[in-house]
């Protein structure tokens, strides 16, 4: 077992399992995907620490435990299609590919999208399509989706993205204001009705473009 394999094992045993991650398929996905390959060289030695890691340009790779709990809450079936919004370097997309049939990884930063494709090729994952475009638009071309996951916190869930959720679909995201603690939420569409519930608290960094709108102040 090399140092990265040991760190990955430690991540699962000390970060995921003690924090209510019990789904065997989710744990197997984390055991299979080499997180270090989705990070810049200088951050690879700390790939498995229990915090968000910077990718540049205000973007972060989410804390492993947060990602794991979101994926567990999404209850992804092997026949389903998923959309990752703010895919970054592709780590969440790679994990989701271990659970779903097909994954669309939406990214607007061309360099991050390039790095995502390279890491996915390194893992020989062919079921993920990295698509480039504005994050706030979602990816209508292949909607609706059984699962939508945001790769960072958002101040709100854009209605046009919620509309891309299939009947019976689940959307998982950390929703937070500028200063407030984020709340991981599960949004579902059942019988055409959209409902939302809070799952747990999360101090996840905001995705650029999804920050709270500045409050209007009278002078």
Structural domains for the chain: 3-202 (3.40.50.150)
Q: So what's the pLDDT on residue 213?
A: 74
- What span, in angstroms and rounded, lies between the C-alpha atoms of 128 and 99? 12
Q: pLDDT tens, 134-154? A: 999 999 999 999 999 999 999
- What span, in angstroms and rounded, lies between the C-alpha atoms of 93 and 146? 14
Q: So what's the pLDDT on residue 211?
A: 81
Residues in the chain, pLDDT under 70: 1, 178-179, 214-219
**Residue pair 64/39 in contact by the 8 Å Cβ criterion:** no
Q: So what's the pLDDT on residue 219?
A: 47
Could you tell me the two tokens for 210? 């999804």
Q: So what's the pLDDT on residue 177?
A: 78
Q: pLDDT tens, 18-45? A: 999 999 999 999 999 999 999 999 999 9
Rounded to 5 degrees, φ, ψ at 197 are -140, 150
Cis peptide leading into 144, omega within 30 of 0?
yes
Q: So what's the pLDDT on residue 214?
A: 64
Could you tell me the two tokens for 94? 């790679």
Sheet holding 193-202, edge to edge: 128-132, 102-107, 81-85, 145-150, 165-175, 182-190, 193-202
- What span, in angstroms and rounded, lies between the C-alpha atoms of 219 and 214? 15
C-alpha closest to that of 103 among 69, 121, 76, 122:
76
Q: So what's the pLDDT on residue 215?
A: 56
């Amino acid at each position: 077992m090399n140092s990265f394999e040991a760190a990955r094992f430690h991540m699962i045993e000390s970060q995921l399992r003690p924090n209510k991650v019990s789904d065997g398929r989710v744990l197997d996905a984390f055991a299979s995907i080499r997180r270090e390959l989705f990070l810049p060289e200088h951050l690879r030695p700390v790939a498995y620490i229990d915090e968000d890691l910077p990718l540049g340009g205000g973007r972060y790779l989410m804390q492993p435990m947060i990602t794991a709990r979101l994926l567990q809450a999404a209850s992804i079936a092997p026949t389903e299609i998923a959309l990752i919004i703010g895919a970054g370097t592709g780590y969440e997309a790679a994990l989701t590919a271990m659970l779903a049939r097909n994954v669309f990884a939406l990214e607007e930063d061309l360099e991050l999208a390039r790095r995502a494709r390279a890491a996915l090729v390194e893992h020989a994952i062919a079921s993920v399509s990295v698509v480039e475009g504005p994050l706030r638009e979602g990816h209508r071309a292949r909607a609706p989706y059984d699962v939508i996951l945001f790769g960072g916190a958002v101040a709100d869930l854009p209605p046009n993205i919620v509309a891309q959720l299939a009947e019976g679909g689940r959307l998982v995201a950390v929703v937070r204001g500028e200063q407030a603690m984020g709340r991981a939420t599960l949004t579902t569409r059942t019988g055409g009705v959209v409902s939302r519930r809070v799952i747990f608290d999360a101090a996840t960094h905001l995705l650029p473009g999804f920050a709270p709108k500045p409050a209007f102040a009278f002078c």
